[in-house]
Amino acid sequence: MQGRADCPYYAKTELLADYLQKNLPDFQIYKITQHPDVWEEWLKGVCEKNKWNHKKSPIIWRELLDRGGKGLLLGGYNEFLEHAQLYYDVTSNMMTELMMVIAQENLEAHIEKELEKETQKDLISPLQVWITSATSPACYNLLPILMSGEVFGMQTEISLTLFDKEQSEELLKSLVMETQDLASPVLRSVSSCTTEKYAFHQAHVVIVLDDSTEEEVYGLEECLRSKVPLCRLYGHLIEKNAHESVRVIVGGKTFVNLKTVLLMMNAPSIAHNIIAVALGVEGQAKAAVARKLKTTASCIKDVIIWGNISGNNYVDLRKTRVYKYDSAIWGPPEFSRPVLDVIFDSEWVKREFVMTIKSLTSTGKQFGRILASHSIATTLKYWYHGSPPGEIVSLGVLSEGQFGIPEGIVFSMPVKFENGTWVVLTDLPDVEISQQIMTRMTSDLIQEKLVALGDMLTFQPYHSETELSLRDRRLSLASTDDKQEEQNDHQDSIFSDQAPDDEKDAVLSDEST
């Protein structure tokens, strides 16, 4: 007997079946419920398989064991009541109100049972985690964090696969042994892979690190185009081999936004589950502010990173607050103050702070090992378990037009993680960005994408109208100087042509000397 979990007629049939099974020694019944969302599809499949014609819940059939388990359809609710009345002289007098109560209890019990099954399934089937460019320094620092159980939880076992180029096979074997030596209670297995066609098989999590290359790249444009083949390969392999619910996280210090959008283009079915890590830049900004205030970086919250994570970005301190700050105003641990109200040196914010973050971002300094791995691990932890309540987190996601950002580019913006996903915080007050700053950031990201795909030949850095005006002025002054120099040369030439022969000889003599 099978029925929709919330069906009152199934509840009444179930009660009658229980009574018959209790009082008749040779009477046995097997009861299975289906969730309302899948009931119709399930019923259609069963009827097609057995060539039955039945449309409603419940469905009851006899399994003829003497005929190899062949099913004989009895029918539904009415047919079962007639069968019980005819063969056993038993009927059911359950009231409608009680039927509805039992139906609701059945649904709740079914949902609880399914959740328990999923939990047991997770214990039996470990989380499949793949790391690309596994011999990179960032991976060495990431592995102990993943094995600590802090990212996915101590109840989630991990099956780890380290993926890299074929020439890295010996290094990968050594890394596998080191990981096993950690004796982590959450590690079910660890292996290596260098064969592309097997990459990301049934992966639940894919961590994309910076790819190391021995080929020499000339110029920015060639460097941008060099990202396309690998992202195209990874995208196709993830689309083909990974689990349908796979989560892909892109970290690194070069072209993070570009690599993320290229992966999305080549893995369209899971594009919504591909994100870029921005917590590294956020951490650098928090540390810079903390050093200025002579406090710890963990006391700085709600720094927003806008734009290109590994390039032209904007560090927004307008929502940033400092906690546990030793000043004239003091309060409980949850008390905080706006950072911009505490830092009185506005010139430091406008100049030194901006230049410090710009230097760290453009050069990739301090972002190859500890910071990169910690940023990836923390982002994954938030993705699975939620970010701290009320806290703003920066994340590189595909723009859907939020904040006036053009669609189709990956842009770092404020989000919160909850219920296994992320939500862009579009309701934050007073976070509007000036058109000039927005154009500067989006222009570079759009051009990176166009150049990488071959739709634009050269990358043209964005210049504001003020910068263009100053440049034009410099060019104008340079042009005037060139004209003056050209005029002086012309005059010298005239004088030389008109000079007596003995003067010309004197000049030649001096030059020869």
Q: What is the pLDDT of residue 127?
A: 95
Pairing of strands 247-250, 205-208: parallel
Q: What is the pLDDT of residue 142?
A: 94
Which two tokens mark 67? 């005929």
> Which letter, b or e, does each residue of 307-335 get, where b requires 16 or more Cβ atoms within 10 Å of its Cβ?
bbbbbbbbbbbebbbbbebeeeeeeeeee
Region 173-180: what's the mean pLDDT? 96
Distance CA 460, CA 447 (A): 8
SS3 state at 200: coil
Distance CA 217, CA 172 (A): 26
Distance CA 497, CA 504 (A): 9
| pLDDT tens-place string over residues 374-409 | 999 999 999 999 999 999 999 999 999 999 999 999
pLDDT of 505 over the 70 cut: no
Pairing of strands 313-316, 304-307: antiparallel
Distance CA 488, CA 483 (A): 9
Which segment of 3-7, 158-162, 286-290 scores lowest on mean pLDDT?
3-7
Question: Sign of the C-alpha dihedral, residues 471, 472, 474, 478?
Answer: positive
Q: What is the pLDDT of residue 44?
A: 87
Please report which confidence band the pLDDT of residue 218 belongs to, taking 50, 70 and 90 as the band edges: low
3-state SS track over 96-146: HHHHHHHHHHHHHHHHHHHHHHHHHHHHHCCEEEEECCCCCHHHHHHHHHH
Query: CA-CA distances (angstroms) from residue 249 to 54, 66, 327, 375, 449?
Result: 47, 56, 40, 11, 19
Query: Considering the chain, what percentage of its residues have pLDDT values greater than 70?
Result: 84
- Domains of the chain, earliest start first: 2-121 (no CATH), 267-453 (3.90.110.10)
369 contacts 140 by C-beta, under 8 angstroms: yes
| pLDDT tens-place string over residues 95-129 | 777 778 888 888 888 888 877 776 665 556 899 99
> Which letter, b or e, does each residue of 452-486 get, where b requires 16 or more Cβ atoms within 10 Å of its Cβ?
beeebeebeeeeeeeeeeeeeeeeeeeeeeeeeee
pLDDT of 416 over the 60 cut: yes
pLDDT of 294 over the 70 cut: yes
Q: What is the enclosing helix (H) or strand (E) of 189?
A: strand 187-193
Q: What is the pLDDT of residue 234?
A: 96
pLDDT of 37 over the 60 cut: yes
Give the residue ranges of DSSP H helices in 213-271: 219-225, 227-241, 256-266
Which segment of 152-161, 209-218, 437-446 scores lowest on mean pLDDT?
209-218
| pLDDT tens-place string over residues 258-274 | 999 999 999 999 999 99
* Nearest partner of 383 among 151, 119, 150, judged by Cα: 151
* Nearest partner of 208 among 286, 266, 167, judged by Cα: 266
| pLDDT tens-place string over residues 343-376 | 988 889 989 998 888 888 766 655 667 899 999 9
Residues 6+ apart with CB under 8 A from 146: 129, 152, 158, 160, 377
Query: What DSSP string describes 30-47?
Result: --EEE-HHHHHHHHHHHH
Query: Considering the chain, what percentage of its residues have pLDDT values greater than 90?
Result: 49
Per the model's pLDDT, the better-predicted residue between 401 and 477 turns out to be: 401
pLDDT of 301 over the 80 cut: yes
Region 277-304: what's the mean pLDDT? 94
* β-pair partners for 422: 417
User: How many Cβ atoms sit within 10 Å of the Cβ of residue 244?
Assistant: 8
The residue with tokens 């994408």 is: 449
The residue with tokens 């185009």 is: 225
Per the model's pLDDT, the better-predicted residue between 368 and 460 turns out to be: 460
Please report which confidence band the pLDDT of residue 220 belongs to, taking 50, 70 and 90 as the band edges: confident
Q: What is the enclosing helix (H) or strand (E) of 78?
A: helix 77-88
Query: CA-CA distances (angstroms) from residue 145 to 186, 246, 263, 375?
Result: 11, 20, 25, 11
